[in-house]
Amino acid sequence: MTKIDKLEKAAKAQAEAEFLELIEIDSPSWGEQAIAKVLLRKLKELGMETQQDETGNIYGYLPGNASLPPILLSAHMDTVEPSKGKKATIEPDGTIRSAGAAVLGADCVAGLVEILQGIRLVQASGLPHRPVEIIFSVAEETYCEGLEKFDFSKVKSKDSYVLDLTGKIGTAARRAPTLVSFCATIKGRAAHAGMEPEKGINAIAIMAGLLAKIPQGHLDTETTCNVGIIQGGMMINIVPES
């Protein structure tokens, strides 16, 4: 067994213990303070310079071989709901699953642990390494609200890995689709539809005219559009206001 093999074996056990430690901390979106405190301590123990911005995002920097380009590693600290009282159970084959009604929180605690263990392993190996930047973000599950407020001007790395994806080990996604959602309210004017309809402005009729102009389905080979919910009107004898 080489030194690296031995270190990897130890890292595997450490990773499991650290994963179980971190998932027991409640960390819903915008409620990441408790896990952030623990992660800041762990990053400092690795010798990293750390900062936490007003939003709660953590930035860490680990000096490395100055002739090598820095690399950014990132994961998020929040989990989806239901997230209260997360508990894990380990099956005979080693698979870790949620033991209760709450999520396990592997998304993205697995990513957090991979980053921490990866740095520990590199440090223990004594091999030269690139300078490492870390971003542990808040509120990723609410459409990256946390990172929206992060000051990216401080990031030096041109390469980055975000450890927040399932798939075959050793593969990565270079691009991913995104979603632009919108909600429109058409304001007309209400009026009695039998007595004085001319005083009203029919919001549903306006909406129908607009909808006819919005293309649905495939717009091109990689873009689709869908209007999925429509609500409006009060009574059949009222010109709808919205």
Specify the residue, 112 or 191, whose C-beta has the smaller distance to Zn ion: 112
**Binding of residue 108 to Zn ion (CB under 5 A):** yes
Region near Zn ion per CB under 5 A, out of 11-19, 21-29, 100-108, 151-159: 100-108
CA dihedral 231, 237, 239, 241 (to 10 degrees): -50
**6 Cβ contact list (under 8 Å, min separation 6):** none
State the distance between the two ends of the chain, measured CA to CA, in whole angstroms: 72
Specify the residue, 163 or 193, whose C-beta has the smaller distance to Zn ion: 163
Given the residues 32, 78, 107, 241, the one annotated as active site? 78
CB of residue 58 to Zn ion, shortest distance in Å: 16
Specify the residue, 32 or 107, whose C-beta has the smaller distance to Zn ion: 107
Specify the residue, 106 or 203, whose C-beta has the smaller distance to Zn ion: 106
Strand partners, 60: 50, 134
Dist. CA 181–CA 28, nearest whole Å? 23
Return the structure tokens found at 32.
């990441």
* Binding residue for Zn ion, selected from 18, 32, 78, 107, defined by CB under 5 A: 107
State how far the alpha carbon of 161 is from the alpha carbons of 72, 114, 169, in Å. Answer: 6, 11, 14
Residue 218's identity, in one-letter code, is H
DSSP-derived letter for residue 6 is H
Decide: residue 221, CB within 10 A, 0-12 exposed, 13-18 middle, 19+ buried: exposed
Residue-level length of the chain: 242
CB of residue 134 to Zn ion, shortest distance in Å: 16
**Binding of residue 114 to Zn ion (CB under 5 A):** no
Given the residues 18, 107, 133, 140, the one annotated as active site? 140
CB of residue 76 to Zn ion, shortest distance in Å: 6
Letters for 146-165 (x = contact with Zn ion by CB under 5 A, - = none) are: ------------------x-
Q: Are strands 217-220 and 159-162 parallel, antiparallel or unpaired?
A: unpaired
CB of residue 206 to Zn ion, shortest distance in Å: 40
CB of residue 165 to Zn ion, shortest distance in Å: 8
Specify the residue, 107 or 241, whose C-beta has the smaller distance to Zn ion: 107
> 3-state DSSP call for residue 227?
coil
Specify the residue, 111 or 188, whose C-beta has the smaller distance to Zn ion: 111
**Quick one: which of 2, 33, 32, 38 has its CA closest to 18?**
38
User: Is 78 designated active site?
Assistant: yes
**Binding of residue 115 to Zn ion (CB under 5 A):** no
**Binding of residue 145 to Zn ion (CB under 5 A):** no
Dist. CA 61–CA 43, nearest whole Å? 9
CB of residue 111 to Zn ion, shortest distance in Å: 7
Residues between 155 and 214 that touch Zn ion (CB under 5 A):
164
Binding site for Zn ion (CB under 5 A): 107-108, 164
Active site residues: 78, 140
